[in-house]
Amino acid sequence: REICGFESRPPYFASLAQAKGAPFFYYNNVRVFCALTYYLHIGGFIMDQCSRCGKQYVYSKELRKKGYSKTICNTCRVTVARTKSKQKAVDYKGGKCEVCGYDKCLSALSFHHRDPATKEFTIGAKGSSIAWPRLKKELDKCALLCHNCHSEVHAGMVILG
C-alpha cells in the first residue's frame, strides 16, 4: 500500500498477477492486485523521488543502462543536459548578444541563421542530441542574439554585418 498509494486511486484488477504471486490485498472481500505494485514487485523495479523536482519515478538497473539516474528523473536529466549544451554553445559564440552585448540570462539568448538557405537544422529543436562537431559547424553559420535583437533582425530594423 505504501508503494502505490492505494487509498488515492481505484484498484486495478490483474488476474495474471495471482498466478505469478504478486502482492495483493482484500478490498470489499475481493482479492485485488494493484498494477503498479505488481510491476514494481515482479519486475524488480523500485520507486524513487527526484532530488531536483520531487516527482516520483520508477528506477531499475535496466533503466540505469539506458541513461536513467538514481537521483534525478529522466525529465530533469534531459533538462540539465540541454542547459549544459546551450551554455557550451553560447560560450562558443562569445557569451553575449552580437548586437547589444546582453549576457544576463541564458534563456534570453538565441541563435539566428545568417543565411537561412544554408540551415541544416534548427539548433534549439535538436536539444543536446547533436554531436558537438556537427553542432559547432551549424553554430558557425549563426549569430548569437538576445530575443529583442532577434525580433528586430526579423523585422528588418537591424542588419547583421
Q: What is the pTM of this model?
A: 0.65
Asked whether the beta carbons of 122 and 76 are under 8 A apart, the reply is no
Cell of 120: 541544416
pLDDT band, very low/low/confident/very high, at 37 (cuts 50, 70, 90): low
Cell of 83: 542547459
State CA 95 to chain mean position distance. 24
Asked whether the beta carbons of 141 and 113 are under 8 A apart, the reply is yes
pLDDT band, very low/low/confident/very high, at 139 (cuts 50, 70, 90): very high
116-135 burial string, b = 16+ CB within 10 Å, else e? eeeeeeebeeeebebeeeeb
Percent of the chain with pLDDT over 90: 32
- Angstrom CA distances, 54 to 67, 73, 75, stand at 19, 9, 12
Q: Per-residue pLDDT tens for 66-80?
A: 766 567 887 888 888
Q: Which helix (H) or strand (E) holds 41?
A: helix 35-43
Amino acid at 20: K
